[in-house]
Structure 1
Amino acid sequence: MTAPFDPPVALASLSGEADAAWARAAEAHVGCAFLGGIALDRATRAAAREMVDRDRSEFLPPDPVAFVDEQFDALDGADLRPAVNVRSGTADPLRAVGAVCRDHGAIIEVNAHCRQDEMCAAGAGHALLRDADRLCEQVRAAGEAGATTSVKVRTEVEGVDLPAVCGQAADAGADLVHVDAMDSEPVVADVVSAVGPGTAVVANNGVRDRASVEEYLRYGADAVSVGRASDDLDVLASVRRAVETFSERPSLEVHPRARQRGEEAGP
């Protein structure tokens, strides 16, 4: 599997910051930008307002679906693939955003990543990792309109077998799994094995330089993403160079998917 964007470097969503202008500023270095996250339904929007009240930065447009459409319009002609990370406790709003993403050739990303108490109580974020059936329902809803579908997940969630959950999401139709590895980077290799060859894996957390990029690519990741350093153009340039020059070396132990990718690329 290869990432559905080139170069295989993405900007990971940052609450209240990741908009079209943020993506445009980095387009010379990345192949994709995940805007958002955007709260879609009543419960997650209420949760986002509570988070703002305690000084979190969140997007709270009057009409979240129209906001996504407007943001993608602002990226028309940009040299990157647009994407949006969305939060919802229910499946229906994902269908509407999925249609917008389809029309823009964009990726819709189900947020099973957020650890904020308010968002989890609303049924989004980590709550979806702990309820794989609901996560899979959201994945199916997001993809019904024909949009490329991603799931953003996080390691080190107590009681969650992340590779197994990711495998279920892939079976439900996820085209990408976007893994925040936290301090458990080797889990990326387990996720790659669990989702199979038809689902791309994007690795996130601590991606800054050649060493961090090569670690994730050796584990079989198809792409990497940069979050907190997404406004540092020097870091993004370094990450892009590292991804584009990565090649299997006999002295490195790599996941079979990384080995296959290297063989397909040739010398």
Structure 2
Amino acid sequence: MFEPRLALASLSGTADATWARAGAPWAGCAFLGGISLDKPTRAAARRLCERDREEFLPENPVAFVDEQFSALAETPLRPAINVRTTSVGPLSKTAAVAASHDAILEVNAHCRQAEMCETGAGERLLRDGDRLCEYVRAAANVGATVSVKLRTEVAGVDLPALAPRLERAGADLLHVDAMDSEAVIGEIRAATDAFLVANNGVRDRATVREYLRYGADAISVGRPSDDPRVLERVSEALSDLHEVDA
């Protein structure tokens, strides 16, 4: 899927091509975004900006994604784009752009901001597995490699049960924010063969070892993804631990 198996995780309003290039010496993949694709999610993103959160709000989101991927054409990592939407049309168009760049399209079922959830996007999708699977199928049907960004500790949501449904719908990757429930990574691993990326609190060898022990295929770094010291520690830990396993 990508090597080295360290990904840079999307940070709303920050994770663009420039950010990805800065982390490229240590990472094999960078999830740009998140990008709000349709009218409801873009309106929600504007409301988020009004309370001082950073958001990407390009005039043409699909063209922006194409430009960002093009800017990474000579960078030695696999690009990905995290997207929020309430409709299939913009998702399919963006997925086609991702496919043309051999990039990954990531459906955001993760954002917990109230403004975004009120549209039915983000974390709200975890409670509507049928619609989430519909989005995955739409992206897979245009040839994209599909990831789904998930969050643990959402009341009433059984991620180990949802994971195989997403895989059958066409998800190639499951990108899981483990919150304080790292053991769920092991439960998801037991339920699916999809490429599993573990996220949350990754800072050092101990956290890398824990996620690998639970069966993660790769690790992603979120908030400290712009800190070379953290990226170097995590990269070295991944390399050393993989060598031991080999």
Q: Does residue 227 of structure 1 match 2:222?
A: yes
Q: Distance in 2 between matches of 1:65 and 1:37?
A: 12
Q: Distance in 2 between matches of 1:237 and 1:66?
A: 33
Structure 1 residue ranges, 4+ long, deviating more than 3 angstroms after superposition: none
1:110 aligned residue: 107
Q: Distance in 2 between matches of 1:121 and 1:130?
A: 13
Q: Distance in 1 between matches of 2:41 and 2:121?
A: 7
Q: Identity rate of aligned residues, in percent? A: 63
The number of residue pairs the alignment matches comes to 246
- In structure 2, what residue type is equivalent to 1:201? L
2:48 to 6, 31, 51: 51
RMSD of aligned alpha carbons: 1.1
| CA drift at 1:162 | 1.3
Q: Distance in 2 between matches of 1:166 and 1:119?
A: 23
Structure 2 runs not aligned, ≥5 long? none
| CA drift at 1:247 | 4.6
2:237 aligned residue: 242
Q: State the TM-score, normalizing by the size of structure 1.
A: 0.90
- The structure where helix makes up a greater share of residues is 2
- In structure 2, what residue type is equivalent to 1:205? N
User: Given that residues 102 and 146 in structure 1 are in contact (C-alpha distance below 8 angstroms), is that contact kept between their aligned partners in structure 2?
Assistant: yes
SS of 2:31 mapped into structure 1:
strand
2:78 to 77, 81, 84: 81
1:171 aligned residue: 168
1:209 aligned residue: 204
| CA drift at 1:212 | 0.3
User: Given that residues 98 and 144 in structure 1 are in contact (C-alpha distance below 8 angstroms), is that contact kept between their aligned partners in structure 2?
Assistant: no
Q: Does residue 12 of structure 1 match 2:9?
A: yes
- In structure 1, what residue type is equivalent to 2:201? G
Q: Distance in 2 between matches of 1:49 and 1:24?
A: 27
- In structure 2, what residue type is equivalent to 1:29? W
1:68 aligned residue: 65
- In structure 2, what residue type is equivalent to 1:245? D
- In structure 2, what residue type is equivalent to 1:64? P
